[in-house]
């Protein structure tokens, strides 16, 4: 097997494979734009086995003092944390932001606040 950088000329064939095998499952972005790297894995005859890319994503992690503040204050602080996270993502041209939220109340509040 050979591993190498993905070439822009390969995108139509990769799109064809995506449409054939994954078209109903997920949208295929341009693997040469906004990715840290686009890559291919081929057999020894240079026949494509896998094409993919690694793109940057961000994850926000916060710790909340649940005892010393009202839920209204915490809710406002959550929105501020979301604003900071969105700003940092835009500044670094990161299009995906993940937050794994354990508290259902926080989760609903954040979901309703997404613009």
pLDDT at 29 over 70: yes
Give one word for 25, left, alpha or beta, with left for phi > 0 and alpha for psi -120 to 50. alpha
In this prediction, residue 114 carries a pLDDT of 67
Partner residues linked to 5 by β-bridges? 39
Distance of CA 16 to the CA centre of its chain: 23
Rounded average pLDDT over 96-104: 79
Domain boundaries, the chain: 2-54, 58-113
* CB proximity list for 32: less than 8 A, separation 6 or greater: 6, 8, 11, 38, 53
Confidence of residue 66 (pLDDT cuts 50, 70, 90): confident
Q: What is the CA radius of gyration of the chain?
A: 20
Q: Which residues pair with 63 in a beta bridge?
A: none
Q: Residue 25 CB: number of other CB atoms within 10 A?
A: 8
């Amino acid at each position: 097997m050979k591993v190498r950088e993905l070439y822009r000329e390969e995108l139509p064939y990769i799109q064809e494979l995506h449409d054939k095998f994954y078209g109903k499952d997920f949208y295929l972005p341009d693997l040469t734009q906004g990715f840290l790297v686009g890559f291919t894995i081929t057999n020894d005859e240079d026949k494509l086995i896998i094409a993919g890319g690694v793109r940057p994503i961000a994850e926000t992690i916060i710790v909340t003092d649940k005892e010393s503040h009202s839920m209204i204050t915490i809710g406002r602080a959550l929105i501020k944390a979301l604003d900071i996270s969105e700003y940092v993502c835009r500044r670094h041209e990161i299009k995906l932001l993940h937050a794994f939220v354990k508290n259902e109340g926080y989760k609903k509040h954040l979901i309703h606040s997404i613009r």
